[in-house]
Amino acid sequence: MTKQRTLVATVNVLIMMALVTLYSQGWGNIYVYAGLAMLAVVFGGVAVAQAVDVSDKDANAR
């Protein structure tokens, strides 16, 4: 559980760093990147929650 949370946090930080880098290079609008970052965080969180849920069910089934 903790490892997966750490992984998600790491991925989110990498996404943010990439977006900041793109913005500092002058690639488009910060609001567009902020919106994409929020979507990435939401979808990442949902995907991990589902993965954790499935692995918990597998463990219980055994």
Q: Does this model's pTM top 0.75?
A: no
Please give the Cα distance from 50 to 54 (Å, whole number). 6
| Model pLDDT for residues 15-50, shown as the tens digit of each residue | 878 877 777 776 667 777 777 778 888 877 777 777
pLDDT band at 1 (very low <50, low <70, confident <90, very high): low
- Domain total of the chain: 1
Q: Which domain holds residue 41?
A: 2-57
Instruction: Give the model's pLDDT for residue 62.
Output: 60
Instruction: Give the model's pLDDT for residue 16.
Output: 78
Query: Is the pLDDT reported for residue 5 higher than 60?
Result: yes
**Is 25 contained in some domain?**
yes
**Is 62 contained in some domain?**
no
Minimal CA–CA distance to 7: which of 38, 40, 45, 37? 45
